Structure 1
Amino acid sequence: GPLAVTVSGLREVSDGYVPVRGAAAGAADTPLDLDSRAAAVRIDGAVGRTNLSMRAATWEEDRGSGLAGTRANASGHSLSAAVAQAPTADGYGWRLQAWRIDSDLANSSVSVSADRSSTTPANDQYKTPATGWGLNAALRRRVSDFAGGRLEWEVGADARFNEGQTNEFFSNPTGAGFARGRRAGGETSVGGAYVDGSWTGGDWLFAGGLRLDRWENSDGFRNEYTLATGAVLLDETDPDRSGEVVSARLAARRDLGGGYAARAAAYSGFRPATLNELHRPFRVGNDITEANAGLTPETLKGVETGLAFDRDGVRWGATVFWNRIDDAIVNVTLGAGPATFPRAGFVPAGGVLRQRQNAGTIDAWGVELTGAANLTPALSLNGAVSWTDATVDGGASAPQLTGLRPAQAPEWSATAGLDWRLSSALTLALAARYESRRFDDDLNSRTLAGAVTLDARAEWALDARTTLWLAADNLFDTDVEVSQTGNGVAGYGPPRTASIGLRLSY
């Protein structure tokens, strides 16, 4: 019939794993346990040529944070609706969309003793409500015969609005209880208009777009006070900031025959600072990161070119690219503990103070190679490798970063996979991933070792509607470093994890 209803639900419970392992671990190190639940309903319908879709969802997730005395709870719900008509042959179409998301987060953090035997409460962000909403409207057109090819275009406008604040207790110098409270927050918005189109004719495809956006950060504030008396210690009102950004893209692809195709593209874009980056400080162990209400959007420009092949079950691609991010938003190290800093307060030994800043530019260029082959109707292989040379130029704002590599950006990464359909019912799969060493911080002082992991999966189709599956992630139980403290204690990703499941389709 004309109406379709989809209902989904999720419940996931895990005892988790301890991220700090081996001789470095102490009584302060606890599991990353998880209790997650979500539900959603979606309704799709049609009236003539007009399609309508509505969706509502809710979720809540409770996590252990890996240190005694810390937890995080995130919850929220969302509503969205869209109504549209697809363009007819040589005709018009249109689309209207609207959405809203309400969320909240409670997150506690602690300072850790030097021997990791104990923790002391350091911060309790007990309520961080946030709301985001937006809308989009577009007019679409398709012309089947334009300059010897087919033209499709869209013009439209969209807008996104966000507001939120953090409410927290902090400052616990004696371990007897929090001494101060903090409220901080504000609003952000981005609104823009755009035109987007593509033309296909013969062996050619051209695509491009142009948009103008206006961004604004407004109503920012930060208020700190003593819990005992309510005396105001800090009362700031951030100046409103706004600006306009023009972004564009242009790309071309040509079919060269024999399975080969060449392509090239140039593009630009931007990312405004989030409410978290503007207003919400956070803490991980003894490391503190301060917000910065003065952030402006980071902008991107780039070019790339590539060659691809697809014929007789063999596919490969090669791409060379260059990107530059200006006014990159980076967590910049300001100092190390033990020391007391303005606004942030006391930073313990082994910890550092960072602040989000527009820290100059990041230049990155590199090569990406991908490939896949169907060796037999039942056996296929795939793989990819990328090499990226990325360098920061901190300029006058952060000269100490000049010549360094961005945090969490490996130079080399590679994947490889195998899919083997042994029978109509049984399928086996292997997937390997490699990442070279990378740095956990902006100063490149905390090095994370490279690692190779292997995942395996088997699926058995019991009948047309029932599938039994068995999976093992990180099959060889490799230690994958994902973080490091100032005194060299590494945090690791998930160990070997086995799971079994049953999938029912009706």
Structure 2
Amino acid sequence: MPLPQTEVAAVVVEAPRLPPLAGEAVFSARQIDLADLARAPRLDAALKTVPGVSLFRRTGSDGANPTIQGISLRSIAPSGAGRALVTLNGTPVNDPFGGWVIWSSLPVEGLSGVKIVRGAGAGAYGAGALTGVIALEERRLGQGQSSISAGMGSFGWKRLAGVGGGDGLTLVAAVESSDGYRPVRGPSAGRVDTPTKFNSASISGQIDANLGSARAAIRLGGYEERRGAGLLGANSEAKGADLAFTLAEIDERSGWRLQAWVKKSDLSNGSVAVAVGRALATPAADQYSTPALGYGFNAALQGRGEVWSWEAGVDARLATGRAFERFRFQNGVFTRGRESGGETAIGGIYLDLSRSSGPLLLAGGVRLDEWRQEGAVRIERDLATGVLTLDNPARDNSGTTPTGRLGVRWSFREDAWLRAATYVGFRPPTLNELHRPFRVGNDVTEANPALTPETLYGGEFGIGGSGFGDWSLTIFQNRIKDPVTNVTVGVGPRTFPIAGFIPAGGALRMRQNAGEIEASGVEAELRRSYGAVRLDLAGAYTRARVDGGGTIPQLTGKRPAQAPRLTITGGLNWEASPRLTLSTNARYESDRFEDDLNTRILPASVGVDVRAEWRLGERASVYAAVENVADTDIVVGQTGDGVSSFAAPRSFRLGLSLR
């Protein structure tokens, strides 16, 4: 029997943001709406329904170390720092020290939607948007729009999240915990292999108000998470806070926006060396504090006409941070201490134009950025005596980088269009890449303060329409110049300068600007409804190859690490009755390589999730979900001695939502 309809007065709370220019339609974009977000267990899981979107590894944020939670698009060359810019209400979310994203700080309940723009982002997006932009928009609550959700499931998983407020105030809070799963399972597992336990909490508050004819918003948020890496003694803790202020005035023909933000973060991260047979784990490094501060501003002026529209702006981002560590574990104690870090600054100006004339839409933009890397510190001391063992400062570095984009879209029918675009974007290295070495098991990766920005040159051609559902097909060609790559320098057992001893089964890598990466591919998407059933199909094929040139010839012809050729996603959502909704999502990924030399293969994987939701009333529902329903062994990593680690096995969740 149909549920009774209850009339609720609509209260619209407008965000202080400029509307997108019409020219945005010439570039490749995908929208994830509120309903799709609500069905996902985590934000990164919702993003992975889009082909080519992935964290550095296949591991979800429920089991991944914070330092490998950077996100990239199009499988061109995934990186722990991420090669996509993530923004929330227009301000950067990426960590000021490492570029990764703490996904637990962004509960899906607090978001109204996500826009994914593929291809290098010039214009207002600027630095960091090398392979694209993931723009998150936060919910603004009207009166009576609060909600709460609670869930529990396998491996001791528990979660509670709520959104409340009204009349311009929005509060979002979430807590989550899990006993975790064991990444290394089966005959390879040893005494050192432990569950990926996880605890997190986040809270944010936002106030929207009118200041004369302008609209203002102030947002304050904070988060903390603790997790185990799946190895005895390897644990991490991340915490941070952010503050943003936005002021904007918008009318039918013009508008302006001022925005300032500050983001503070800290990370502690322990790593261990694993003995042969995995019976013993010895502390390798204790990164006990990584205080970092990022801050910046942006200003924009916009004009919109029937034919021409434009936006001009200026922005700046600055970051400073240090990593404090203890390492070289001997006779039961750490014997060395390290301080590393520095400062980075980026400032730019941009101009975007678009022209709409009947079925033809033209758009273009230019941008000029100046970047600086300075104040480098790399000091190591003997902890017992305080004697300085290494003082390795680096010269300051700076440069100017012009970027831009140009596109055209032709609606040759009311329900079909053609488009073409070309673009240039760049990503400066993070403080983490420049200054901090790290260790995973027996593998060590050295920092490189001489790194320079990566630059992407690309073009694409697309066709799409809405006559047979919403569909699109895009062919793209991209080239990344000077990509930051973890390049293998040697293997253990051996002692290396600066890095020290690398044990058997381990490898020493160093971050380097490794030549170029050529990537070409095709993307296809279809969304179609058949009555109460909605079908989503999408696929992406990327052929990526490294050209190491004369400096790193051993990488020439290799596929970038962690870059699969083919990704296919599918989703089915069936409103079986006014009360019951059934949905399923599947993701196939072809094989990928663990390392830059393409010696460790991670096999192809398939993951299928299912979910059933039952509406108890107009404002309440319960759900049951199964992730990895076939209990597939999805390989996410492989050590130098051939031990594989896996993503989460089959897991169950039950939950309740009140709206």
TM-score normalized with structure 2 length: 0.74
User: Do residues 217 (structure 1) and 379 (structure 2) align?
Assistant: no
2:236 is equivalent to residue 72 of structure 1: yes
* Post-superposition CA distance 1:124-167 (Å, at most 9, x none): 001110000010011111123xxxxx222111100000000111
Q: Which amino acid aligns with 1:425?
A: R
Q: Is the 8 A contact 1:87 1:140 kept in 2?
A: no
The correspondence for 2:325, drawn from 168, 172, 183, is 168
The SS at the match of 1:126 is: strand
- Residues in 2 aligned to 1:225 and 1:166: alpha-carbon distance in whole angstroms: 14
Q: Which residue of 2 aligns with 1:135?
A: 297
Identity of aligned residues (%): 49
Runs of 4+ residues deviating >3 angstroms? none
Q: Structure 2: which amino acid aligns with 1:295?
A: L
CA deviations over 1:405-431 (Å, ceiling 9, x no partner): 000111111011111001122111111
Q: Is the deviation greater in 8-17 or in 250-259? A: 250-259
Residue type of the alignment partner of 1:348: P
2:608 to 454, 459, 471: 454
* Unmatched tracts of structure 1, length 5 or more: 145-149
Question: In 2, distance between residues paired with 1:393 and 1:117?
Answer: 40
1:373 pairs with 2:537? no
C-alpha separation in 2, matches of 1:198 and 1:457:
43
Structure 2 Cα separation of the partners of residues 266 and 16 of structure 1: 44
Q: Among residues 330, 345, 357, which one is paired with 1:189 in the alignment?
A: 345
Q: Give the structure 1 partner of residue 484 of structure 2.
A: 329
Q: Are 2:625 and 1:471 equivalent residues in the alignment? A: yes
Aligned to 2:85: none
Name which of 482, 496, 503 aligns with 1:341: 496
Q: Which amino acid aligns with 1:479?
A: D
**SS in structure 2 at match of 1:27:** coil
User: Using the alignment, how far apart are the partners of 1:281 and 1:236 within structure 2?
Assistant: 13
Q: CA deviation at 1:48?
A: 4.1
1:87–1:141: 8 Å Cα contact kept in structure 2?
no
Q: Who is 1:241 aligned against?
A: 397
* Amino acid corresponding to residue 123 of structure 1 in structure 2: A
The correspondence for 2:586, drawn from 422, 432, 447, is 432
Aligned: 1:122 with 2:284: yes
Whole-angstrom CA distance in 1 between matches of 2:500 and 2:547: 29
Q: Select which of 78, 82, 101 maps to 2:263.
A: 101
User: How many positions carry a matched residue from both structures?
Assistant: 495
- Whether 1:502 and 2:502 are equivalent positions in the alignment is no
The one-character-per-residue Cα deviations of 1:232-271 (angstroms, maximum 9, x if unpaired) are 0111221100000000001111111152210000000000
2:171 aligns with 7
Give the TM-score normalised by the residue count of structure 1.
Answer: 0.96
Greater CA deviation, 260-269 or 456-465? 456-465
Residue 514 of structure 2 aligns with an amino acid whose one-letter code is A
Query: Does residue 363 of the first structure (1) align with residue 525 of the second (2)?
Result: no
Q: Shift in Å at residue 175 of structure 1?
A: 4.2
- Letter of the structure 2 residue corresponding to residue 28 of structure 1: V
Deviations 1:293-339 (A, max 9, x none): 0000000010000111212x522211111000000100101111111
Distance in 2 (CA, whole Å) between partners of 1:398 and 1:287 is 20
Cα pair 1:368 1:386 within 8 Å, conserved: yes
Question: What is the CA deviation profile of residues 420-461 of structure 1, one whole-angstrom value per residue up to 9, with x for unaligned ones?
Answer: 001122111111110001101100011000011101111122
Match of 2:187 in 1: 23
Match of 1:155 in 2: 312
The Cα shift of 1:46 comes to 1.6
Looking at structure 1, the residues matched to 496 and 629 of structure 2 have their Cα atoms a distance apart, in angstroms, of: 45
Alpha carbons of 1:205 and 1:175: their partners in 2 closer, same or farther (altered >3 Å)? Answer: farther
TM alignment of 1:281-292, pairs within 5 A: 281-292=437-448
Distance 2:213 2:419 in 1: 36
Q: How does 1:239-318 map to 2 (within 5 A)?
A: 239-257=395-413, 259-311=415-467, 314-318=469-473
| Residue-by-residue CA offset, 1:360-415 (whole Å, 9 max, x unaligned) | 0000001111112212x201211111111110001122111001000011111101
Indicate conservation of the 8 Å contact 1:120/1:175, yes or no: no
Give me the whole-angstrom Cα distance separating, in 1, the residues matched to 2:602 and 2:347: 40
Q: Distance in 2 between matches of 1:58 and 1:114?
A: 41
In 2, Cα distance between the equivalents of 1:243 and 1:186? 17
In 2, Cα distance between the equivalents of 1:93 and 1:372? 34
Alpha-carbon separation, structure 2, partners of 1:201 and 1:462: 50
Moved more, 482-491 or 493-502: 493-502
Unpaired runs of at least 5, structure 2 = 1-10, 14-166
| Partner of residue 147, structure 1 | none
What's 2:108 paired with?
A: none
**1:83 matched to 2:247:** yes
In the other structure, the counterpart of 1:113 is 275
1:87 touches 1:142 (CA, 8 Å); kept in 2?
no
Aligned equivalents of 2:182 and 2:291: distance in 1?
29
- Distance in 2 of aligned mates of 1:192 and 1:87: 26
Aligned equivalent of 1:43: 207
Residues 3-23 of structure 1 deviation map (CA, whole Å, 9 limit, x = unaligned)? 510111111010010100100
Aligned residue number for residue 56 of structure 1: 220
| AA in 2 matched with 1:74 | A
The code of the aligned residue for 1:291 comes to A
What secondary structure is seen at the aligned counterpart in 2 of 1:237? coil
- What do residues 471-498 of structure 1 show as CA deviations (whole Å, max 9, x unaligned)? 1111111111111000110111111121
Secondary structure at 2:466 match in 1: strand
Q: CA RMSD in A?
A: 1.2
- Higher relative contact order (CA closer than 8 Å, sequence separation 6+): 2
SS at match of 2:652: strand
Distance 1:441 1:239 in 2: 30
